[in-house]
Each structure stands twice: as structure tokens, then as C-alpha cells.
Chains A and B, each alone.
Chain A
Amino acid sequence: MSARMLVVHRRPPYGTSHAQDAMEAVLASAALGVEVAVAFVDDGVWQIVAGQHPGDTGLKDFVPAFRLLPELDVGPIWVERESLQRRGIGARQLLLPAQVIGARALARRLDLYPVVIEL
């Protein structure tokens, strides 16, 4: 299947199902041969901060599946610098090998993808 899309993650991981839904769509699309890139923006950056332990909440621990992204050739994986800075998160705290990128540069990258979706 020759298709390219970029999925933007803008929601934090547990309070709603958005992060989990988006991640499932990314993994399924990549497994089906879609060329998928991802960008973490706004509260979406919380999804890939290391050291999450949702066990006591009863919620599904779906975050480890993010580590499958490189294996499934999902990429590039971008994280917006401004979103990290605003939340006091350092690049070293991320559980993925993501490229930290400024908003202006990310805006140009987004326009290289015919389909950009947020789920």
C-alpha cells in the first residue's frame, strides 16, 4: 500500500482515550504498509515521557507499544521543542529516540505530508 501520512499526537496519555486510539491507528497503519510519521505536540509530549506507571489506575499500559514504532519503520518521530519547554521536559526524559524540532521547522515538515491527521 503506497500511502504516506503523519499522525499528530496532542493529548496526554490517560485522561481520555485519544492517545491510545491514535497509537493503535499508527501501529495498524504502519503494519499495513502505510508510511507513517508522527509528531508529538502540546500535551501529546506527555505520552512519551519515561517513567509512567498507570497500573494502580486500572488503565491499560499502552505506552510500551510506542517502543515498537522504530521496529515498524514509523518515522520520522518528531517532538516539538516549544511544547517540551513549556512543560519543563528535557529530551533525555523521553522514552523514544525522537527528533526535537522547533515549531517553524515542524510547520514546514507538516506541509510535506499529503495527509496529516490527529485522532
Chain B
Amino acid sequence: MTADAAADTLHIVSRSPLATDALATCLRLSRAGSSVLLIEDAVYAALATVDVGRSLRALARRRVLVLGPDLLARCGSSPVLRPGVTVVDDGGFVDLVCDHARVRSWL
């Protein structure tokens, strides 16, 4: 894996996809194959029923993760997630940060 491989970048989004352009900009300025972790109000983007518009195609080309405690707080214990979305706990959040060479937040 080369130093600048897209898979080595973790992008963190914390705002609702329907309220701000954080997710759309994250997807526009991240590369296919990178990881996107949805935390706080961004967890709504992980729900299969939420219309994220043009972000849908780009999301399908990223590794999408969602922070479990934030998801449980907002959507309960059996939310219907988009295919391929992985739920991580707080320790998993830390592991993601450590396992990616680069971490960026889109606030």
C-alpha cells in the first residue's frame, strides 16, 4: 500500500446530510476507496430510508462506518441501514483512527 493510497484516509462527518453540505463536500473531496465514519447527527446518512440525493453513488464507492452509540441514541436498536454500512463502537472509532494514516473531519 503506497503512502497516499485512498484506503489510508478516514473521513469523519458529524452533521446531518439534510442540514449541511458536510457529507456532500466530504464525498466530493475524498477519493473512491477511502473510509467515511458517520458520527453524531451524520448517522442519519446511514439509514436506508434517508434520501441523500447525489451522495448515494459516492457513498457506494466508500467504506462507510457508523458510530454505534450515536446511532442507537437516535435510531434505536434495529435501524435499517444502507447495504454495506458497518457499525463500530467507541473502541472501533479509535481503531479506525489508528489504522488509517490520515484522518480528516468535515464539520
> Which residues of A are interface residues toward B (Cβ below 8 A)?
8, 10, 41-42, 80, 82, 103, 106-108, 110-118
Question: Which interface class (under 10, 10 to 19, 20 to 34, 35 or more) fits B?
Answer: 10 to 19
Chain B residues with a Cβ under 8 A of chain A? 4, 6, 8-9, 21, 25, 28-31, 101-102, 104-107
Q: Please name the residue on chain B nearest to A106 by beta carbon.
A: B29
Other 16 A-B pairs with CB < 8 A, given A114-B102, A117-B104, A118-B104: A10-B107, A41-B25, A41-B29, A42-B21, A82-B28, A103-B29, A108-B31, A110-B104, A111-B31, A111-B102, A113-B102, A115-B102, A116-B104, A118-B105, A118-B106, A118-B107
- Per DSSP, chain A at the interface is mixed
Interface of B is mostly: mixed
Q: Which residue of A lies closest to B105 (CB)?
A: A118
Closest to A83 in B: B25
| Alpha-carbon distance A80/B107, docked complex (angstroms) | 17
A107 touches B4 (CB 8 A): no
Task: Report the nearest B residue to A111, measured CB to CB.
Answer: B4
